[in-house]
């Protein structure tokens, strides 16, 4: 965290976009809060206050800047780096858990009382879970107001508000404009197809988009994912029904087109896309550490801004990891596609080559392991892990306790250290995982003249902390 107020002011004065999302700049003379890179003339130091989140700024009586749109900035990379309860809570709130399950549901997932959780969040990020969720709903509402022709009632409930009055009051308070004024001020663009929305996803530079796309394309499951002309597309299993998302790198952002059955799934779909593409990473901080190793530095300079791909759902990645334990990448894609055709939910209508949503944890956990096109032992592993996820015994998504989840996974048959660590890196978004026993990692280390023995390699990799997941991706990428 950047806690020094004077350093924050210097960052804001330099308008450095790398720090957008790290903190909020509020100006007492105007009552507006901004991202650090806002192009507006900077206020005098005595008129500036800093907040850790937009929700905290809103609670302080400030409204969002209309010029820099601070609510659309990349998220703070801090919440992925950390594994404590506040970070886990922030990841779950971004997933929309408060909207779907309330603060009680959020606290229950984390194993804390609602009162204690509220105290923890207020003390560190300046706002409790309800205020944080409210800020997120406001941003979702603004997107729907400005990019669709939905009636405001549909926008309100799609953004997660409990009433139209709550929606109107929040929009006025946060943006200093009514929903009607926001819609009238939007750009003149063709209306999107019904159920379709295109929006920009912010990211930090540099961004190794081609390498990220190549990683996803190599592993794309037919029927679930496709890569065509530089566009990655996939299906999503969402609470309101199946959806699809198409993403493509465009300038300094990502263009994302979503097709949703229920607009209330918008925030969750966007959050999953951001995690899948690792859009909240701080690539400058990552590259700075990794370049200090003379052996690794050439790889980092060749692929600045390399991302660690996430997952659309933890149980999906677990299934695919188990499938790929003893087969080629191409073979694993074929097997995953066959399982999807048998157990996945079909889309109402195909979208390009996308036809199915990957099977749910309940569907996989309830299937006969002998029906999977693979050795029965691995089939049992898939069913066992999926059933544990479906029962809530193992959490493979954003709010998981990483250490506890790893221990639970290792206790299951067919799950070894490589699989558990691979899931920690991609599903749990742990940025500091080093797959020392991976064959590709060992080959890459040998080519760099580094120790390839697991123990020696692990010892050497300590200098890459806390970004060992990114070092692993650089090693894999060097083989292609």
CA 71 – CA 61 distance, rounded (Å): 15
**Cα end-to-end span (Å), the chain:** 36
CA 384 – CA 336 distance, rounded (Å): 17
- Answer yes or no: 293 catalytic: no
CB 431 within 8 A of CB 467: yes
State the helix-helix crossing angle for 266-276 and 129-147, rounded to 10 degrees.
100
3-class SS shares of the chain: helix, strand, coil, % to 5? 50, 10, 35
Residue 27 DSSP class: E
Number of H helices, E strands in the chain: 23, 11
The one catalytic residue among 4, 16, 34, 84:
34
- The H or E element that residue 61 is part of is none
How is residue 313 written in tokens?
Answer: 């759902």
Would you say how long the chain is, in residues? 480
- The H or E element that residue 56 is part of is helix 54-59
- Answer yes or no: 34 catalytic: yes
Comparing CA positions, the residue from 191, 176, 179, 214 lying closest to residue 329 is: 214
The one catalytic residue among 280, 287, 432, 438:
438
> Going by DSSP bridges, is the β-strand pair 253-259/32-34 parallel, antiparallel, or unpaired?
unpaired
Burial of 452 (0-12, 13-18, 19+ CB in 10 A): middle
Burial of 29 (0-12, 13-18, 19+ CB in 10 A): exposed
Question: Catalytic site residues?
Answer: 34, 438
């Amino acid at each position: 965290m950047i806690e020094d107020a004077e350093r924050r002011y210097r960052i804001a004065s330099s308008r450095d976009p790398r720090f957008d999302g790290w903190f909020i700049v509020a100006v007492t003379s105007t009552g507006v809060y901004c991202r650090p890179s806002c192009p507006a003339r900077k206020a005098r130091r005595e008129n500036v206050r800093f907040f850790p989140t937009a929700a905290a700024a809103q609670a302080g009586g400030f409204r969002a800047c209309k010029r820099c749109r601070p609510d659309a900035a990349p998220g703070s990379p801090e919440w992925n780096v950390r594994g404590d309860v506040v970070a886990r809570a922030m990841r779950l709130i971004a997933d929309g858990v408060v909207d779907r399950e309330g603060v009680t549901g959020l606290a229950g997932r984390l194993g804390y009382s609602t009162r204690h959780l509220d105290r923890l969040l207020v003390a560190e990020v300046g706002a409790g879970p309800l205020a944080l969720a409210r800020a997120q709903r406001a941003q979702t509402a603004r997107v729907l107001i400005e990019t669709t022709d939905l009636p405001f009632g549909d926008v309100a409930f799609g953004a997660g508000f409990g009433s139209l009055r709550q929606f109107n009051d929040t929009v006025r308070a946060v943006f200093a404009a009514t929903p009607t004024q926001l819609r009238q001020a939007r750009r003149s663009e063709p209306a999107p197809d019904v159920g379709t929305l295109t929006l920009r996803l912010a990211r930090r530079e540099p961004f190794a988009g081609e390498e990220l796309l190549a990683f996803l394309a190599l592993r794309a499951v037919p029927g679930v994912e496709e890569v065509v002309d530089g566009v990655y597309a996939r299906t999503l299993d969402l609470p309101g029904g199946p959806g699809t998302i198409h993403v493509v790198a465009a300038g300094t952002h990502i263009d994302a087109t979503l097709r949703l059955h229920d607009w209330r799934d918008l925030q969750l779909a966007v959050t999953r896309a951001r995690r899948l593409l690792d859009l909240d990473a701080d690539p400058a901080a990552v590259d700075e550490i990794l370049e200090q190793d003379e052996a690794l530095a050439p790889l980092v300079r060749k692929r600045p801004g390399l991302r660690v791909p996430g997952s659309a759902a933890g149980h999906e990645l677990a299934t695919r990891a188990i499938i790929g334990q003893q087969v080629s990448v191409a073979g694993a894609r074929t097997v995953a596609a066959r399982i999807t055709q048998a157990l996945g939910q079909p889309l109402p209508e195909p979208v390009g080559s996308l036809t199915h949503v990957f099977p749910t944890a309940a569907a996989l956990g309830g299937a006969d392991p002998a029906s999977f096109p693979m050795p029965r032992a691995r089939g049992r592993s898939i069913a066992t892990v999926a059933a544990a996820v479906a029962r809530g015994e193992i959490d493979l998504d954003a709010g998981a306790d990483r250490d506890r989840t790893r221990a639970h996974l290792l206790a299951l048959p067919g799950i070894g250290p490589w699989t558990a660590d691979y899931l920690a890196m991609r599903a749990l978004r742990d940025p500091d995982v080093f797959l020392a026993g991976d064959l590709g990692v060992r080959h890459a280390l040998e080519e760099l003249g580094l120790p390839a023995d697991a123990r020696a390699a692990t010892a050497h990799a300590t200098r890459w902390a806390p970004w060992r997941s990114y070092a692993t991706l650089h090693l894999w990428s060097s083989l292609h």
